[in-house]
Amino acid sequence: MWRDFYGKLDRVQQARGFKIAASIAIVLLAIGGFVAYWLANPAPAVDTAPIVQPAEVEAETPGLTPEEKAEYKSEVERYQRAVAQLMAGQTDKTSVAVGFAAAAGVVVGAIWLGLGLTLALFVLAAAAVVAPLAAFGSTRDWSRLLGGVALLGASFTVLMRLLSMTFSGSHPVLAIARNTLAEAVRLKLSLLFIVILLFALASVPGMLNAQTPLRYRVQSFLQYATGGSFWFIAVLIVLFSVSTVATEQRGKVIWQTMTKPVSSAQYILGKWLGIAGLAAVLLSVTGVGVFFFVEFLRAQPAHGEIGPFKTRDGDTLSEDRRFLETQILASRVVVENEPVDLATNDPAKFREAVAGYLKEIHDSNAAFDPTDPTNQNDVAKSLNDQLERSYRAVEPAPGWKTYTFKGLADARDKSILLTFRFKIDAGSNRPDVTLKITFAFDRIGLITWDCPLGQYQTITLPPNVIREDGTLSVGVINGAFYGNNLRLNAEPFSFPKSALAVSYSAGSYRLNFARVVFILWVKLAFLAMIGVFAGTFLSFPVASLVAFTVFIAAESTNFIQKALVVFDDMDNKGNVVMWKWVIVRIAESISGIFKLYGDLQPTARIVDGALLSWSQVAVGTTVLAGATGLIYILAVAIFRRRELAIYSGN
Amino acid sequence: MLSATDSNTPIVVCQQLTRIFRDFWMRPRARAVDSLTFQIDKGEVFGLLGPNGSGKSTAIKMILGLLRPTSGRVAIFGKPPTDVATKRRIGYLPEESYLYQFLNARETLEYYAKLFEQDYRTRERRIDELLDMVGLQGAQFRPVREYSKGMQRRIGLAQALINDPEFLVLDEPTTGLDPIGTRQVKDLIIELGRRGKTILLSSHLLADVEDCVSRMIVLYGGQKREEGTCESLLERRERLLIESEPLDDDTIAEIDAVIRRRTGGDRQILSVTRPRQKLEELFLSIVEKARAQQISTSGATHGGETAAFLKSDQSSEIVSRLVAAADEPLQAVAPAPAPAPAAPKGPDVNVLEALTKPAPAPEKDKVAPPPAPPKDFDRSVVDSLLSGNTQNDQQGPKGTNH
């Protein structure tokens, strides 16, 4: 009975007349909705009050000349104008109109995909469940969750239909791809994954603590929703890609496909295309969900605000808001300090240090051979690591260090404000302890900072602190000036790796988000090929193990790189420990192979508001596509030699 | 290399084909096919007969490229089995229906049709015809996983025919089918054979083979034990069957006396029995009656006539329309005294023959015509071949109906 009903419904929604009539109705509704919004929301007066008072900065910059202060003030005003523009965008009617148009476009698209009535029924059913739940305080969270699931489910349905239509051509590759898509949504395992993903994503907003600063809520959401979704989809993709190929061979269904005019290359390409398409749909659904919820969060009051973008004391930008808009929902170029590399900077001195180190070890351990190249390399590496760690530490004596940041000419030329971001570690990072440290910048002079331990801090800097050659030098003093007296701290502190950086805005957050989602898809497509490759010649359990090993290895590359810095393959006497040596070599190989995969760090970038540039996207895509292509060729070569009537798993 | 378009080219050539399965340590585990040599000519309905484990399916898999021979050579349309282009001309039904359980019947056929890059109109027409032919029109939107084994077999058969293949490989095609389905499959094979299609039919069900094939080989232990036409293998020259209306005992005695007199007492009537209706015929008549009473079923229906596109390579649209007009189910087999599967039945076939160019007749010197098997014959000959027990041949017929 249900089948008959849906059959009739489907015939109606597939009819051209229905599509035209429904499209016209939706367009009229969108126009009417926008007009109603226009009438209900008259344009507000633009608040031109200053956003940030530069007074506190001036108080910390006694070395500035009046001209420099004026220049800095103008830079701050430029920043204020940028923020004012940003705020004006919150009530911009054009963006609202674009929103209405986009929503109407999506609905009309769904209608022309033949899903108009299906979605209408879906929305009605969802509303029938959600509305009663929303009416009571105790079930309101459930209504939000189910509403979110319904929205994501509807998006998934529309996108799957769109992809299915894209693959509807009469060609073996497209037929196999479409069949793979159908398999993904009709088999219990993958469908369960998809449903859990939609529920998990919809439940993340409910886990955010409304009492925490808005910037942390946004960061947490981005972290859990984007990162979590990627991992969840990746697990599904790896499992499904292995399963669809391996079980098809085990179940012998492949016989009837491969006795048709289908080459091995077409079969594998079709399988991969279907899985990569599924990954694209799932990422699009989660990406769109994350994006719109972030926009929703953005429109919430930040700490210190009485309404979105409105502070009680008349300032239009609270600290929380400023951090959110400039640090997180941003697209910043991040420049870390130049690493110390004695081997390159001063080879003679480095060789001398290595020789001294080797002699020292040999003196304490006669069995140690200082002429062995392996020992020499290990010692050189170890020494360089020690130097690097020492370079990032500021001892009480002499009490200062200078760090250099290169490649900032663009920010200087375009007069873009800089954000100096740092974190210090000292002792056991007691939360109740702060250290007074002082930074020295060109043109500005000294800025003293009462610095908590283990927490990121930021200082906004004018672009004129950058030198002509695009470098920025920062002097860091382990103490503070009291009048003309420098008082040094008694204990050392250090900047953890990557915890000392300068950044500047280089594009929009929205575009950056799109690039991040694209790179995540490229990674998933790569993983899909790994899974298909493993499934061509291994049984499902073994192939899954192989594919997951590659996935975990690739994802943990950054961790491995960090761990290798502190993991030594020698004992206290300088002897190489064999098992440690083996681990180091394996770890180095893995981190070397997947270095670029790990360096892309799309989720970390979007959480930190760091730019993922087009060039990085291009390089990352090219390299991963190349790797995917190589694995594809290997998979075809193996599959061509397979005897499909013998299942290796038996 | 032989040209695949050469009409004299054998469709399949197997020379000294051997397949040894090995264990993990590469030790020989089973010699599934052993020095098998045979060829299938164009237009033949070729039987591969043998008990379970005799190497039939292994041989087929080597022909289709799903397995590689350990030694020997196999060519199909003059090309290696791995040649992708050749597969456009082949239809294959495995010994079990290995189908995508999440698709419905229509989607299954769409999928396989797309692998042949068929355009939308051709695809849709063929799918409709095939679904009608295998009797699954009413169940076409149900997932295949809900199908009975017989229904899955039917859709498996339909997918094997989706490309109107020149060479059809049917591995145990009637397994799991009810008597009606079995009858239809046999009729289909016979009709396709008459239309010039080349068919390789593998089975251990003797009735399947004897009704359909023009030539066969019998395998045992991976080796070829016998090869020849049905006629040459099954005919029993030492017996004669006379069938008549019922006779009284006196008349029979008189006939016996005549025989004795004319042969000098050497020959006589050995037995006289009343022919029984076959269970298959009884079953068919019951189903026919049920259908006439319009009793509904959620399973496969009786099926329609052979898909129009399978009947002729030309004018298929015209044929489709004409055949559709003559909406007489081909399988509406009325209870008959004895099955006559070799003879094409129903007016549609005649209409078809009259209105379309007849398929080229098989070369008589190469291929025996599709058989009109004797209504009764002694299966013990084939049984003995399959069992490898040649003693049975000497023991004479058993259970012959008179």
> Is B117 within 8 Å of A257 when comparing Cβ atoms?
no
Nearest chain B residue (CA) to A178: B111
Residues A502 and A412: their CA atoms lie apart, in Å, by 13
- Cite the DSSP H helix spans in A187-227: 188-207, 214-221
Count how many Cα atoms sit within 13 Å of the Cα of residue B358 in the half-sphere of its side chain: 9
Query: B149-161 and B105-115 helices cross at what angle (nearest 10)?
Result: 30
Tokens of A106: 């999506």
Torsion angle in degrees (nearest 10) through CA of B382, B387, B390, B395:
-70
Residues B128 and A233: their CA atoms lie apart, in Å, by 39
Phi, psi of A92 (to 5 degrees): -70, 125
> Is A261 within 8 Å of B88 when comparing Cβ atoms?
yes
A526: Cβ–Cβ under 8 A, 6 or more apart, which residues? Answer: A597, A624, A627, A628
The closest CB to that of B117, out of A171, A251, A252, belongs to A171
Interstrand relation of B45-49 and A493-494 (parallel, antiparallel or unpaired): unpaired
ipTM score assigned to the predicted complex: 0.75
Nearest chain A residue (CA) to B143: A186
Question: Is A3's Cβ below 8 Å from some Cβ in B?
Answer: yes
CA distances from B99 to A254, A268, A536, B152 (A): 9, 19, 19, 8
Q: What is the CA radius of gyration of chain A?
A: 29
Locus of tokens 């109407």: A104
At CB < 8 Å, which residues of chain B contact A?
Answer: 21, 58, 61, 64-68, 82, 84-85, 87-88, 90, 92, 94, 96, 98-100, 102-103, 107, 111-120, 123, 141, 156, 159, 163
Residue A352 burial by Cβ neighbours in a 10 Å radius (0-12, 13-18, 19+): exposed
Which chain B residues are closer than 8 Å to A643 by Cβ?
Answer: 66-68
* Exposure string over B8-39, b if 16+ CB within 10 A, otherwise e: eebbbbbeebbbbeeeeeeeeeebbbbebebe
Which chain A residues are closer than 8 Å to B119 by Cβ?
Answer: 170
Rounded to a whole number of angstroms, the distance from the CA of B109 to the nearest CA of chain A is 11
Question: Is A186's Cβ below 8 Å from some Cβ in B?
Answer: yes
Question: Is A256's Cβ below 8 Å from some Cβ in B?
Answer: yes
Per-residue confidence (pLDDT) for residue A444, from 0 to 100: 79
Angle, CA of A216, A220 and A223, to the nearest 5°: 135
The closest CB to that of B118, out of A3, A170, A187, belongs to A170
Per-residue confidence (pLDDT) for residue A73, from 0 to 100: 62
Phi-psi region of B77 (alpha: psi -120 to 50; beta: other; left: phi over 0): left
The closest CB to that of A171, out of B58, B100, B114, belongs to B114
Q: Which of A361-370, B164-173, B357-366 has the highest mean pLDDT?
A: B164-173
> Is B111 within 8 Å of A179 when comparing Cβ atoms?
yes
Nearest chain B residue (CA) to A249: B98
Question: Is A55's Cβ below 8 Å from some Cβ in B?
Answer: no
* CB–CB contacts below 8 A, A to B: 86
Tokens of B315: 């004018």
> Is B114 within 8 Å of A643 when comparing Cβ atoms?
no
Locus of tokens 């490898």: B388
Question: For residue A54, how far is the Cα from the chain centroid?
Answer: 33
Amino acid at A204: V
Per the document, the length of chain A is: 650
The closest CB to that of B66, out of A3, A175, A643, belongs to A643
3-class SS string, B109-145: HHHHHHHCCCCHHHHHHHHHHHHHHCCCHHHCCCEHH
pLDDT in tens, B256-291: 999 999 999 889 988 888 877 666 666 667 667 776
Question: For residue A114, how far is the Cα from the chain centroid?
Answer: 35
Phi-psi region of B369 (alpha: psi -120 to 50; beta: other; left: phi over 0): beta
The closest CB to that of B111, out of A175, A252, A646, belongs to A175
Tell which residue, B159, B85, B117, B112, has the closest CA to residue A170. B117
Per-residue confidence (pLDDT) for residue A76, from 0 to 100: 58
Which chain A residues are closer than 8 Å to B92 by Cβ?
Answer: 255-256, 259
The closest CB to that of A259, out of B64, B99, B156, belongs to B64
pLDDT in tens, B6-51: 566 799 999 999 999 888 788 888 888 999 999 999 999 999 988 8
Residues pairing with B17 in the sheet: B36
CA distances from B357 to A528, B165, B189, B351, B352 (A): 52, 18, 20, 11, 9
Tokens of A322: 């400023």
How many CB atoms within 10 Å of residue A253?
17
Tell which residue, A403, A432, A397, has the closest CA to residue A420. A403
> Is B66 within 8 Å of A183 when comparing Cβ atoms?
no
Per-residue confidence (pLDDT) for residue A471, from 0 to 100: 92
CA distances from B62 to B13, B55, B168 (A): 11, 11, 15
pLDDT in tens, B122-132: 999 999 999 98
Residues A61 and A446: their CA atoms lie apart, in Å, by 6
Is residue A5 helix, strand or coil?
A: helix
Rounded to a whole number of angstroms, the distance from the CA of A263 to the nearest CA of chain B is 6
Judged against a pLDDT cut of 90, whether residue B184 lies above it is answered with: no
Question: For residue A585, how far is the Cα from the chain centroid?
Answer: 29
Is residue B67 helix, strand or coil?
A: coil
Question: For residue B146, how far is the Cα from the chain centroid?
Answer: 26
Which chain A residues are closer than 8 Å to B107 by Cβ?
Answer: 182
Which chain B residues are closer than 8 Å to A252 by Cβ?
Answer: 94, 96, 98
Per-residue confidence (pLDDT) for residue B299, from 0 to 100: 62
Residues of chain A with pLDDT under 50: 45-60, 647-650
Per-residue confidence (pLDDT) for residue A240, from 0 to 100: 94
Residues A49 and A309: their CA atoms lie apart, in Å, by 13
Residues B116 and B159: their CA atoms lie apart, in Å, by 11
The closest CB to that of A259, out of B68, B92, B99, belongs to B92
pLDDT in tens, B46-76: 999 888 888 888 999 999 999 999 999 999 9
Q: If you ran DSSP here, which 8-state letter would residue B274 be given? A: P
Mutate to test the interface with B, among A179, A190, A262 (most CBs of B within 10 A): A179
> Is B66 within 8 Å of A3 when comparing Cβ atoms?
no
Instruction: Strands of B41-184 (E only): list them.
Output: 45-49, 71-76, 90-93, 167-171
User: Do A52 and A322 meet the contact criterion of CB atoms below 8 Å apart?
Assistant: yes
Locus of tokens 């954000």: A419
Which chain B residues are closer than 8 Å to A261 by Cβ?
Answer: 84-85, 87-88, 115-117
Amino acid at A600: L
**Rounded mean pLDDT, B372-376:** 43
Rounded to a whole number of angstroms, the distance from the CA of B89 to the nearest CA of chain A is 9
Rounded to a whole number of angstroms, the distance from the CA of A257 to the nearest CA of chain B is 7
Question: Is A650's Cβ below 8 Å from some Cβ in B?
Answer: no
Mutate to test the interface with B, among A167, A259, A264, A650 (most CBs of B within 10 A): A259
Is residue B79 helix, strand or coil?
A: strand
Query: A557-566 and A373-391 helices cross at what angle (nearest 10)?
Result: 100
The closest CB to that of A255, out of B58, B98, B113, belongs to B98
Mutate to test the interface with A, among B22, B99, B115 (most CBs of A within 10 A): B115
Interstrand relation of A493-494 and A500-505 (parallel, antiparallel or unpaired): unpaired
Rounded to a whole number of angstroms, the distance from the CA of A255 to the nearest CA of chain B is 7
Interstrand relation of B198-203 and B215-220 (parallel, antiparallel or unpaired): unpaired
Tell which residue, A332, A417, A363, has the closest CA to residue A573. A363
Residue A478 burial by Cβ neighbours in a 10 Å radius (0-12, 13-18, 19+): buried
